[in-house]
Structures are given as structure tokens and as C-alpha cells.
Amino acid sequence: LAIERYIVVCKPMSNFRFGENHAIMGVIFTWIMALSCAAPPLVGWSRYIPEGMQCSCGVDYYTLKPEVNNESFVVYMFIVHFTIPLIVIFFCYGRLVCTVKEAAAQQQESATTQKAEKEVTRMVIIMVVSFLICWVPYASVAFYIFCNQG
């Protein structure tokens, strides 16, 4: 979503038109990311164990056994499924806000441009904060447990 918005707003002269093929590619990419997150423990790279009140499963951050291979998987998950998306979101939405602010500065007298700038900034803040609210607590606890094993 952040990448699509970045391309549409920040690269309007590149003749990019969001079409059905782009939507299909987005869905395929989403499924690939989901499978690359969920499937490795099913084939022996780390494992799932019951978490918390034993009503859901998560990656085993607790076991130090080499045969479980959880250390490399936890690092992989933290980098590929948390850190990289966070960097992409910050970059895309940061550039989007800068582009909208530059356009608004060129048309200072336009009330609609100023309103659009405020709406875009509000949307960006909501999207970034939502991602952080959803993932920082889990990633932080998992990383803490992983770093303080034993």
C-alpha cells in the first residue's frame, strides 16, 4: 500500500497506471510474504509452540537447541518481516509527505491544496502509527525474549 501510494503521488510523470495486473501482483506478493513467514517452521526451520494462555501458537523464541534452528529464523523474521517493511513504510510515506508539502507550498493560496496536504499528512500518520501499534509490542517482546534466553 505504501509503495503504491508512493508511486502514484511521487512519480506521476512515469506513466504509471495502477491496473488489474498491479493488483494481482500485490496479492501474489502478499501471499508470498505470508508463506515465507508461516511455512518455514512447518518444514523444520524453527518450530511453533503454544504462547501465552495456550490459545495461540507462535515461533519458539525460548529454545536454545541447535536442532530447532530457531536463532537464524528469529533473526530472519525480525529483519525481513518487521525491519524491512518498517523502513519501506517510513521511506514511502516520508517522500509522499514531502512531495505533497512541496506541491502545497507552490500553491499556497489554494484552500483545496492545503486541505489535501492536511488529509495526506493525517493519513500517513494514521498508517505509520497503526503499523507501529500492531507490530512493535510483539516484535519488542519477541526480540527481548530472544536476546535474554537462558
Give the annotated binding-site residues: 71, 149
d(CA 116, CA 118): 5
Kindly report the number of other CB atoms within 10 A of residue 117's CB atom: 19
Residues at the binding site for Zn(2+) are 71, 149
